[in-house]
Amino acid sequence: MEQDNKKYMENNISYDLNEQSLISPLDLGSPLFEPKIRLGVLASGNGSNFEYIIKSIQNNQLNAEISILIVNNPGCLAISKAIKYKIPYVIINHRDCQSRLEHDMLVMKKLDELSVELVIMAGWMRIVGEEIINGYKNRLINIHPSLLPSFKGVDAIQQAIDKRVTITGCTVHYVQKEVDSGSIIIQAAVPIKEQDSKETLKKRIQDMEHIILPLAIAKVAKNIRTGFKDNK
Ligand code: GAR
């Protein structure tokens, strides 16, 4: 067995340690469930995770339909993806609301109207209030670009760089009142390379997000269909 900085040989398989990522739980596979689950996606940004949810549905990896994309920001690029893939969308601009509660209630009304079963915060840059959290208990999940419980809140990737950690990653978790602290569903670890810029690191984290978010959706959807609750 030979080991240097980059390569590691085991059972004749060569791993490039600098490129290796780890997803856990390892045995998740892609959980299967019936019937199709109705998703509501909340987004504020580029919508790359939204697009990967769409792709995993198109590839038959996820037995779901997206009932609605809700964005809080009219300039959000996720809208162009909704148009491209012909997914219904609505802009509920928080700047037009008097309070967080008013905004939350409008979001919830739309989700309820469409009988959404599972809500995905896919780059939703707003804290949601208790009404939505309680209304969608065990049915509201978020993706965050760090290995929670490290680096909660805003700019998690920069927080990891500033702390000079050597491994970071991404987490899908249930949403509860305290920000970024609900039960963890799935995580992926991503090594930070010496030469990484924030952008190169963000790209590798997002590549993993695009894998784990559809898996997490399938896992939670299966829980919903079987009545199993893993959100403690
Ligand atoms: C994702 O990296 C997601 O983890 C992050 O926003 C990005 C949205 O990208 N979410 C948070 O930071 C939430 N605290 P996308 O719009 O391309 O999916």
Query: Using one digit for the tens of pLDDT, what is the confidence trace for 64-79?
Result: 999 999 999 999 999 9
Is 162 within the bounds of a domain?
Answer: no
Report pLDDT digits (tens) over 187-200.
Answer: 999 999 999 999 99
Q: In b/e form, how buried is each residue of 181-201, taking b as 16+ CB within 10 angstroms? A: ebebbbbbebbbeeebeeeeb
16 within a domain of the structure (yes/no): no
In sequence order, the β-bridge partners of residue 98 are none
Does residue 97 lie within any of the structural domains?
yes
Return the DSSP state at 90: E
- The residue segments making up the domain with residue 55 are 30-142+172-188+213-226
Strands 37-43, 118-121: pairing kind: parallel
Name the token pair of 45.
């940004």
Instruction: Report how far ligand 1's centroid is from the alpha carbon of 1 (Å).
Output: 40
In a domain, 79, yes or no: yes
Contact at 8 Å (CB) between 85 and 47?
no
Note the pLDDT of residue 3: 43
Q: What pLDDT was estimated at residue 5?
A: 42
- What percent of the chain lies above the pLDDT cut of 90? 85
Structural domain count of the chain: 1
Residue nearest to atom 5 of ligand 1 (CA): 123
Establish if 152 belongs to a structural domain. Answer: no
pLDDT of 12 > 90? The answer is no
Atom of ligand 1 nearest to the CA of 49: 18
Given the CA of residue 205, which atom of ligand 1 is nearest to it?
Answer: 2
Residue 203: inside a domain, yes or no? Answer: no
The answer to whether residue 144 is catalytic is: yes
Percent of the chain predicted with pLDDT > 70? 90
pTM: 0.91
CATH number at residue 115: 3.40.50.170
